[in-house]
């Protein structure tokens, strides 16, 4: 037990699973808002990007042409909220012709197999 936990009795593993691309639908943006709020509860938070969700982290997003807010810089701010576990599924990246260099924030790239083990150990999974 860590002594500096705000409420040491209840620390659950929360995983946010992002499988949708940004801008085409609102899910990516509103999911990010949930992640930010969860940071205030001192839980064990991780965020997964799989399938088209990996596009949320693509470098160089430039949105004025569609008159929408570019929320991608917020992913770089997650570290400041102590949300440090960002997992990206390797197979999803590869299927989209992306590499880690295309991503705008430091992440841990995991194989499906590795990721599935971490997923299976969660207490709460929130997907959008």
Partner 1 sequence: MLHTVNKSPLERNTLESCLRLAAKGSAILLIEDGVYGALAAGQAAKEIGKRKADLKFYALGPDLAARGLSESPLVDGIEIVDYEGFVDLAAEYEAHQAWL
Partner 2 sequence: MKFGILVNEGPFTHQASDSAYQFAKAAIAKGHEVMRVFFYHDGVNNANKLAEPPTDDRNLVKLWSELAAEHNVDLVVCVAAALRRGIKDDVLAPGFRISGLGQLIEAGIVGDRLVTFGD
Min. distance of Cβ 111 from partner 2 in angstroms?
A: 25
Among 11, 23, 36, 51, binds partner 1 (CB under 8 A): 51
Give every CB contact of residue 19 below 8 A, 6+ residues apart in sequence: 50, 51, 52, 53, 127
Among 34, 70, 99, 112, binds partner 1 (CB under 8 A): 112
CA distance 112 to 73: 26
Q: What is the DSSP letter of 119?
A: H
Residues that bind partner 2 (CB under 8 A): 10, 12, 14, 26-27, 30, 33-34, 37-38, 40-41, 43, 123-128
Site for partner 1 in 11-50 (CB under 8 A): 17, 19, 50
Burial of 128 (0-12, 13-18, 19+ CB in 10 A): middle
Map tokens 């799989």 to a residue.
50
Could you say which of partner 2, partner 1, none residue 119 binds, taking C-beta under 5 to 8 angstroms by partner kind? partner 1
Min. distance of Cβ 35 from partner 1 in angstroms?
A: 16
């Amino acid at each position: 037990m860590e002594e500096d936990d705000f409420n040491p009795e209840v620390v659950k593993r929360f995983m946010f699973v992002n499988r949708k691309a940004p801008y085409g639908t609102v899910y990516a943006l509103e999911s990010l808002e949930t992640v930010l709020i969860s940071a205030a509860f001192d839980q064990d938070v991780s965020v997964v990007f799989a399938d088209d969700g990996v596009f949320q982290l693509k470098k160089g997003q430039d949105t004025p042409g569609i008159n929408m807010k570019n929320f991608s810089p917020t992913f770089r701010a997650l570290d400041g909220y102590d949300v440090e576990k960002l997992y990206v599924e390797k197979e999803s990246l590869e299927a989209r012709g992306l590499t880690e260099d295309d991503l705008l924030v430091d992440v841990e790239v995991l194989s499906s197999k590795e990721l599935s083990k971490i997923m299976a150990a969660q207490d709460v999974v929130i997907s959008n």
